[in-house]
Chain A
Amino acid sequence: GAVVSQHPSRVICKSGTSVKIECRSLDFQATTMFWYRQFPKQSLMLMATSNEGSKATYEQGVEKDKFLINHASLTLSTLTVTSAHPEDSSFYICSAISGDRGTGNTIYFGEGSWLTVV
Chain B
Amino acid sequence: DAKTTQPNSMESNEEEPVHLPCNHSTISGTDYIHWYRQLPSQGPEYVIHGLTSNVNNRMASLAIAEDRKSSTLILHRATLRDAAVYYCILKRETSGSRLTFGEGTQLTVNP
| A residues adjacent to B (C-beta < 8 A) | 4, 6, 32, 34, 36, 43-46, 49, 91, 93, 95, 97, 101-112, 114
Query: A46 and B97 in contact (CB under 8 A), knowing A110-B43, A112-B41?
Result: no
Per DSSP, chain B at the interface is loop
Give the residue name and chain of the A residue nearest to B97 (CB).
A97
Q: Report yes or no: A46 in contact with B93, Cβ–Cβ below 8 A.
A: no
B49 touches A49 (CB 8 A): no
**B42 near A111 (CB under 8 angstroms)?**
yes
**How many residues from B make CB contacts under 8 Å with A?**
27
Taking A110-B43, A111-B43 as given, write out 13 further A-B residue pairs in contact, using a Cβ cutoff of 8 Å, ordered by the A residue number: A4-B43, A34-B98, A46-B100, A49-B96, A49-B98, A95-B44, A97-B97, A101-B93, A104-B49, A107-B91, A109-B45, A109-B46, A112-B41
> B99 near A95 (CB under 8 angstroms)?
yes
Residue positions of B touching A, CB distance < 8 A: 30-32, 34, 36, 38, 41-46, 49, 51, 87, 91-93, 96-104
- Bound-state CA distance A102–B101 (Å) is 19
Evaluate contact between A103 and B98: CB separation under 8 angstroms: no
- What are 8 pairs between A and B in contact, CB < 8 Å? A32-B96, A36-B101, A43-B103, A49-B98, A102-B93, A103-B30, A106-B46, A107-B97
Q: Is the CB of B97 within 8 A of A44?
A: no
A34's contact among B31, B99, B102, by CB below 8 Å, is which? B99
